[in-house]
Amino acid sequence: MTRPHRTRVGVIGAGPAGLLLGHLLHRAGIDTVVLEARTRDYVERRQRAGILEQGTIDILRACGAGDRMDREGLRHDGIELRFDRQAHRIDFPSLTGGRGVMVYAQTEVVKDLIALRLESGAPLLFEAEAVAVEDFDTTSPRVRYRHEGDEHVLECDVVVACDGFHGIGRRSLPAHALQVFERVYPFAWLGILASVPPSCEELIYAHHERGFALHSMRSPEVSRLYLQVAPDEDVDAWSDARIWDELATRFAVDGDWELATGPITDKGITPMRSFVAEPLRHGRLFLAGDAAHIVPPTGAKGLNLAVADVALLAELLLRWFSEGDEAALDSYSRQALRRVWRAEHFSYLMTTMLHRDPGQDSFAHRLQLSQLHYTVSSTAAATTLAENYVGLPTV
């Protein structure tokens, strides 16, 4: 195999952020190399988010990556909040000027972007583990990586770390270079995939005295559901029957609605945390997506923040390559973090409004119920939720 040794932009990570950045830059004539530590099969099967906000939909369409999304994705114009055995719908278009979201799994976005990358012939190396980012404070940063048993060096003009929370990109930086903000929540999600048609047309967010539950979907034939559990929960302690019984209890409403059940094909535990590492630029090394920030999944912002990061960074890099506009690159961290912190706040509010903290007293629970009642009865409060959920314009 002929391996590239020099490129303008070296991208670490072939998740949606890295692949989309590589695609956007390649379309503009900028040479890129994308390195991914895992196999293609692993990357294409890795279960993550499934909600695309309006801005993400628009970006994928504009860059030619939205054809299958438009054919197979499920447009949603609202969500349902359930509490006190009552269901309340939040209508997005009427509150946001016609905006909505799309249910289209991250696995499918990744498959689409990989196909475009391979079709273009631009370098994409799987099982290529980046082990160090060097000289990022010079004009010639380098990525050391292992591929097929040997170590190689990729020389770059710019390195972008899209390699996730545990990736080498952020870990290559000295501790004093970063200001870290973090909150770990005292609960987790038990998530399942089930071969059963969804029991709802739109997502259901349920607040219950036993804990939070979420009903989502991946397709008209596949449901994705979640239960709030303890962070140290043993997934093997949850039989299929126990999972379905608990979901039915937490989703229960007065009326004839029933939860459809079926074979569970996948289950796993997802911890809950909020995390931001600032700044996002360090010389010629840039952080994007989960390498820079994590949000609890309650607000459906993780994938969308990653897309917003790299869409902005691609625009700024193009200005820098074509005009030498260093000020544009300097603005990346400031511009991206404004959006990041808005999403962090929204995700925090959704999480604390809907989950039961194990140490929560009755006063805190009453405050949650008050906020839920206000959200579904006030146009102003519902608009705030809807605007943030479908995605605010770039700021």
Q: Which residues are catalytic?
A: 76, 205, 297, 301, 389
Joined together, the tokens standing for residue 348 give 């925090």
| CA end-to-end distance (rounded Å), the chain | 43
Find tokens 């196999």 and name the residue.
39
CA–CA dist 13, 174 (Å, integer): 21
Separation between Cα atoms, residue 226 and residue 188, nearest integer Å: 10
Identify the sign of the CA torsion 322, 328, 333, 336: negative
Number of Cβ within a 10 Å radius of residue 380:
9
Between strands 6-12 and 32-35, the pairing is parallel
CA atoms within 13 A of residue 208's CA, in its CB half-sphere: 21
Q: What are the counts of helices (DSSP H) followed by strands (DSSP E) for the chain?
A: 12, 19
Cβ pair 347, 274 in contact under 8 A? yes
Contacts of 360 (CB under 8 A, 6+ apart): none
Q: How far apart are CA 231 and CA 250, in angstroms?
A: 19
| The two structure tokens encoding residue 130 | 């980046």
